[in-house]
């Protein structure tokens, strides 16, 4: 049985998600660069890896679109924010951003059901699961930062631990 072609609405939504994942990669890259310059090398390493992971998410979408006979578009991106108040602010933004990504993925899944595109709906389930993990990771990091508070020694250990944390472990 052949899969039906992607509808124009699904194609547009998938390409929009490609853009969101690419922008996420750039956003985390900007955060990583800031952290590195501030001396938070562990946080920088973690965010560099997270940026790479978001790029992988973008590529997975792009390839899916192409495999379905459509054309995945490489988006133009605007420069992300690149100055941050502190590590707490960085991870507050990470958490808020992941919530926004989850919302967009859920909207895309809803569209798949409305359009009766069950193949894309099935494909998107990986992203739904991934977002649960992304939100949990950001929430756990924020919980750790709340425990640390203003303790510079605790922040030093936190930063050191992030260097070895695999983003796939989701903290």
| Residue 16 domain flag | yes
Q: With a cut of 50, say whether residue 37 has pLDDT above it.
A: yes
Q: What is the pTM of this model?
A: 0.91
**Are the beta carbons of 46 and 33 closer than 8 angstroms?**
no
| Residue 122 domain flag | yes
Which residue ranges make up the annotated binding site? 21, 54, 57, 98, 131
| Residue 1 domain flag | no
Distance CA 88, CA 109 (A): 32
**Are the beta carbons of 112 and 124 closer than 8 angstroms?**
yes
Q: Give the least confident one: 1-15, 68-82, 99-113, 134-148.
A: 1-15
- Render pLDDT for 103-142 as a digit per residue (tens, 0 to 9): 999 999 999 999 999 999 999 999 999 999 999 999 999 9
- CATH number assigned to the domain comprising residue 142: 1.20.1260.10
- Confidence band of 5 (pLDDT split at 50, 70, 90): confident
- Please state the rounded mean pLDDT for residues 140-153: 94
Domain that holds residue 136: 8-166
| Residue 171 domain flag | no
Q: Number of structural domains, the chain?
A: 1
- Please state the rounded mean pLDDT for residues 14-40: 98
| Residue 158 domain flag | yes
- Please state the rounded mean pLDDT for residues 132-160: 95
Which residue ranges make up the annotated binding site for Fe cation? 21, 54, 57, 98, 131
């Amino acid at each position: 049985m052949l899969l039906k072609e992607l509808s124009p609405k699904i194609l547009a939504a998938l390409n929009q998600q490609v853009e969101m994942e690419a922008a996420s990669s750039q956003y985390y890259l900007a955060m990583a660069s800031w952290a590195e310059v501030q001396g938070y090398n562990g946080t920088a390493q973690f965010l560099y890896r997270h940026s790479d992971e978001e790029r992988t998410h973008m590529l997975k979408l792009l390839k899916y679109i192409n495999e379905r006979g459509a054309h995945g578009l490489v988006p133009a991106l605007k420069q992300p924010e690149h100055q941050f108040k502190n590590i707490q602010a960085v991870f507050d933004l990470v958490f808020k951003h992941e919530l926004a990504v989850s919302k967009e993925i859920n909207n895309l899944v809803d569209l798949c059901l409305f359009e009766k595109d069950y193949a894309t709906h099935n494909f998107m389930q990986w992203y739904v699961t991934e977002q649960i993990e992304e939100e949990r990771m950001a929430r756990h990091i924020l919980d750790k930062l709340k425990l640390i508070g203003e303790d510079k020694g605790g922040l030093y250990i936190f930063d050191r631990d992030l260097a070895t944390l695999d983003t796939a472990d989701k903290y």
